[in-house]
């Protein structure tokens, strides 16, 4: 049996479909973000990062770096194993208290990533509810889909952000335990869920709510708790999930909610029980980032300003910016090969790093470049981005818009 042939076939299929992913070898330098070093066979080259999910540059913030270094120097690097074996390191307890406070919930539970917190959180929550029906938004992240699948519960998908369709499904299953699962901010299109209306329906039909705030925590709300805080519905949502790896600039994921609900997940979730805990240094760094963003709005305000300017400049140039009211700036390409070529040309010829977004992350035919400006992208960098994209669009024969998609 030629087992290698199976893997070669799988890889060749990706190449044929122009979906094979290539990751640039990048080295971020603290204090120089959004600049990074690109390591190539020809040597190092400085590039500008335009697609990082370290949205606010907190990964280089002196408070965050200082907290990590101090903790590692004082208590060492690792967590010593799972919490079941090694116990809770104190920095982890402090982090969970900080997260519960951030979201106005009784308790929080930290996982090793946002993916794991969704995958194991959703599956465990649903399994513990007899005959649970999960109503899932059509554009939910893969980690949520996997959590739903692993729960073994019945699932019905409702049309993206469609309040009427969700109510139709709730009405059809009145009296049954229901878990509504959605994101607050969808990272590929940059659109926002109607959380208040979803909460109205959940309360009317007796459903439980689970909201992923991964791309919103740190970014929105008076203290950076997310869209639910901004929209005044945080107290109406049963489970709020987030990440420490994006706007907070660290690593890890978490869920927050009532004490008994969080304790039930802690006590039953294999993805929590059998996984090594986050190291104390990472926990301390994340706590420092959360505390800073609870009181500092400069990063959020500046980032929104930069995102607005990028959209304005690109739209004025005719670049096909897709409609978005958030910090996400998607630029439509619509072809996987051309999307990859545009990304390669921006990097190799202009020193601009924007990773192509292809299927299965987005549907076929909607391939795009996803731009995420940070507070540290100045006007000159934005102008250089627009000039470079116009040159690439011309070279590849990609269409420009006299009137932007965002304004249509």
Supply the residues annotated as catalytic. Answer: 246
CA distances from 309 to 56, 183, 312, 365, 376 (A): 16, 26, 5, 27, 13
- Note if the bond before 231 is cis, omega within 30 degrees: no
Residue 169: helix, strand or coil by DSSP?
Answer: helix
Other Cβ atoms less than 10 A from the Cβ of 350: the count is: 17
Backbone phi, psi, residue 163, to 5°: -65, -40
**CA angle, 14 then 362 then 188, to 5°:** 135
Distance (Å, whole) CA 166 – CA 381: 43
User: Tokens 């979803």 identify what position?
Assistant: 198
β-strand 208-212 against 154-158: which pairing, if any? unpaired
CA distances from 394 to 170, 208, 294, 343, 353 (A): 49, 50, 44, 14, 18
The dihedral over CA atoms of 284, 270, 155, 241, expressed in degrees to the nearest 10, equals: -10
- Provide the strand spans (E) within 236-381: 239-243, 253-257, 329-332, 352-353, 356-357, 368-371
Residue 135: helix, strand or coil by DSSP?
Answer: strand
Other Cβ atoms less than 10 A from the Cβ of 315: the count is: 19
Q: Which two tokens stand for residue 134?
A: 């999960």
Residue 328: helix, strand or coil by DSSP?
Answer: coil
């Amino acid at each position: 049996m030629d087992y290698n042939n199976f893997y070669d076939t799988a890889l060749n299929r990706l190449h044929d479909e122009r979906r094979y992913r290539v990751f640039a070898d990048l080295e971020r330098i603290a204090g120089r973000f959004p600049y990074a070093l690109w390591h190539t066979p020809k040597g190092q080259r400085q590039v500008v990062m335009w697609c990082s999910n370290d949205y606010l540059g907190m990964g280089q913030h002196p408070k965050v770096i200082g907290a990590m270094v101090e903790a590692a120097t004082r208590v060492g690097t690792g967590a010593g194993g799972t919490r079941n074996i090694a116990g809770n390191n104190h920095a982890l307890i402090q982090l969970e208290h900080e997260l519960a406070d951030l979201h106005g919930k009784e308790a929080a539970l930290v996982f090793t990533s946002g993916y794991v917190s969704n995958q194991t959180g959703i599956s465990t929550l649903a399994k513990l509810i007899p005959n649970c029906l999960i109503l899932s938004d059509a554009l939910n992240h893969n980690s949520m889909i996997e959590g739903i699948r692993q729960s073994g519960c019945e699932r019905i998908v409702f049309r993206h952000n469609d309040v009427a369709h969700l109510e139709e499904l709730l009405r059809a299953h009145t009296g049954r335990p229901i878990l509504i699962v959605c994101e607050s901010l969808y990272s590929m299109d940059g659109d926002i869920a109607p959380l208040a209306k979803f909460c109205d329906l959940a309360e009317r039909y007796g459903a439980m709510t689970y909201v992923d705030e991964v791309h919103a925590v740190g970014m929105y709300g008076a203290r950076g708790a997310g869209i639910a805080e901004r929209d005044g519905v945080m107290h109406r949502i049963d489970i709020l999930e987030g990440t420490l790896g994006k706007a907070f600039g660290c690593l890890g994921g978490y869920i927050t909610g009532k004490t008994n609900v969080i304790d039930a997940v802690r006590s039953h979730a294999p993805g929590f029980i059998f996984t090594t805990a986050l190291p104390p240094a990472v926990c301390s760094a994340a706590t420092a980032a959360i505390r800073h963003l609870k009181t500092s709005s400069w990063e959020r305000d500046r980032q929104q300003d930069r995102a607005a300017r990028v959209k304005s400049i690109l739209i004025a140039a005719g670049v096909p910016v897709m409609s978005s009211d958030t910090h996400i700036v998607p630029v439509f390409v619509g072809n996987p090969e051309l999307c990859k070529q545009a990304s390669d040309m921006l990097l190799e010829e202009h020193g601009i790093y924007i990773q192509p977004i292809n299927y299965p992350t987005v549907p076929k035919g909607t391939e795009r470049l996803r731009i995420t400006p940070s507070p540290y992208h100045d006007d000159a960098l934005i102008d250089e981005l627009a000039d470079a994209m116009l040159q690439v669009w011309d070279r590849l024969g990609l269409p420009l818009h006299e009137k932007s998609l965002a304004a249509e």
